[in-house]
Amino acid sequence: MDPRFKMKLVQFRFSKIFGDEAPLYVKIVDDDLHELFLEYVVLPLSLTPTHVEDGNFENMKTENNQGTLLSDHGLADFDIYIMETTSQNPRSELDQFLE
């Protein structure tokens, strides 16, 4: 899945599950992710090892999936939703990553 559309998938699925109440639940998820990110940011560097320090390159993906549609994964309706709702609003780096 394209990492730019993570929150869009949450919005899309929650709208199908919760209907008109979906924005409330999406906001809860979004707020909690931002809180988790802020906790991560304040961690000392020694507690956040990198793949380079570990020498663990086997688990890193090398394929480039950006620009591919999700229809081959059964999410054709989500592709349509993304095309209809994507906007050019300036967002924070975290918001861009989560979408």
pLDDT in tens, 46-97: 655 555 455 554 544 444 444 445 555 677 887 777 777 776 566 777 777 7
Asked if residue 99 is part of any domain, the answer here is no
Instruction: Tell me which residue range forms the domain holding 80.
Output: 3-93
Site of tokens 């349509």:
80
CB of 25 closer than 8 Å to CB of 31: no
In a domain? residue 52: yes
Q: How confident is the model at residue 27 (pLDDT cuts 50, 70, 90)?
A: very high
Q: Which of 18-22, 35-39, 43-47, 59-63 has the lowest mean pLDDT?
A: 59-63
In a domain, 47, yes or no: yes
Residues present in the chain in total: 99
- How big is the CA angle at 29 (ends 24 and 30), to the nearest 5 degrees? 95
pLDDT band at 40 (very low <50, low <70, confident <90, very high): confident
Residue 41 lies in a domain: yes
pLDDT of residue 28: 96
For residue 60, the model assigns a pLDDT of 44
The whole-number pLDDT of residue 93 equals: 75
Does 98 reside within a domain?
A: no
Q: What is the reported pTM?
A: 0.51
As for how many domains the chain has, the answer is 1
